[in-house]
Amino acid sequence: MTFESFDMTTALYDGRALINGVRVHALDGQTFDCISPVDGRLLTTVARCGQADVDVAVAAGRAAFEDRRWCGLAPAARKRVMIKFADQLLAHADELAMMETLDMGKPIKYARGVDVNSAANCLRWYGEAVDKIYDEIAPTASTALALIQREPMGVVGVIVPWNYPMIMAAWKIAPALAAGNSVVLKPSEKSPLTALRLAELALEAGIPPGVFNVVPGYGPEAGSPLALHMDVDCIAFTGSTRVGKQIHVMAGQSNLKRAWTELGGKSPNIVFADCPDLDKAVEAALGGIFFNQGESCNAPSRLFVEASIRDQFLEKALALVPAYAPANPLAPDTVMGAIVDQTQMNSVLRYIELGKQEGAALLAGGAQALRDTGGCYVQPTIFAGVTPDMTIAREEIFGPVLSVLSFTDTAEVVRQANQSIYGLQAAVWTRDINKAHGVARALRAGTVHVNQYDEDDITVPFGGYKQSGVGRDKSLHAFDKYTETKTTWIRIDSPV
Ligand code: NAD
- From 46, 122, 263, mutation site for ligand 1 pocket: most ligand atoms within 8 A of C-beta: 263
Annotated catalytic residue 297: yes
What is the distance in A from the centroid of ligand 1 to the CA of 56? 23
Closest residue by Cα to atom 35, ligand 1, is: 239
Q: How far apart are CA 193 and CA 34, in angstroms?
A: 9
For residue 4, indicate whether it is catalytic: no
Q: State the Cα–Cα distance between residues 462 and 483, nearest whole angstrom.
A: 18
237 Cα to the center of ligand 1, angstroms:
7
The minimum-distance atom of ligand 1 relative to the CA of 243 is 2
pLDDT of residue 496: 82
Any atom of ligand 1 within 6 Å of the Cβ of 424: yes
Nearest CA to ligand 1 atom 22: 219
Tell me, using a 6 A CB cutoff, whether residue 301 lines ligand 1: no
Which is catalytic among the residues 100, 221, 262, 295? 262
Instruction: Give the model's pLDDT for residue 9.
Output: 53
Q: Give the residues of the chain that fall short of pLDDT 70.
A: 1-11
Q: Characterize 232-267 residue by residue with b for buried, 16 or more Cβ atoms within 10 angstroms of its Cβ, and e for exposed.
A: bbbbbbbbbbebbebbbebbeeeeebbbbbbbbbbb
Task: Name the residue of 297, 396, 467, 481 to mutate for ligand 1: max ligand atoms within 8 A of Cβ.
Answer: 297
If you measure from the C-alpha of residue 161 to the centroid of ligand 1, how many angstroms do you get, rounded to a whole number? Answer: 4
Residue 262 Cα: closest atom of ligand 1: 41
For ligand 1, atom 43: residue with the closest CA:
297
Distance 88 CA to ligand 1 centre (A): 27
CA angle 115, 326, 364 (to 5 degrees): 120
Q: Is 364 in the pocket of ligand 1 (CB under 6 A)?
A: no
* 3-state SS assignment for residue 160: coil
CA-wise closest residue to 428 among 265, 279, 281, 266: 281
Catalytic, out of 234, 275, 297, 376: 297
**6 C-alpha to center of ligand 1: Å?**
30
Ligand 1, atom nearest to 217 Cα = 11
- Tell me if the pTM is above 0.75: yes
Torsion of CA 181, 184, 189, 190, to 10 degrees: 20
Q: What pLDDT does residue 7 have? A: 59
Alpha carbons 167 and 281: distance in angstroms, whole number: 26
- Take atom 30 of ligand 1 and give the residue whose Cα is closest: 239
Decide: 32 in ligand 1 pocket, CB within 6 A.
no
Nearest CA to 386 out of 448, 314, 325, 297 is that of 314
- The finding on whether 220 has its CB within 6 A of some atom of ligand 1 is yes
With a 6 Å cutoff on the Cβ, whether 260 touches ligand 1 is: no
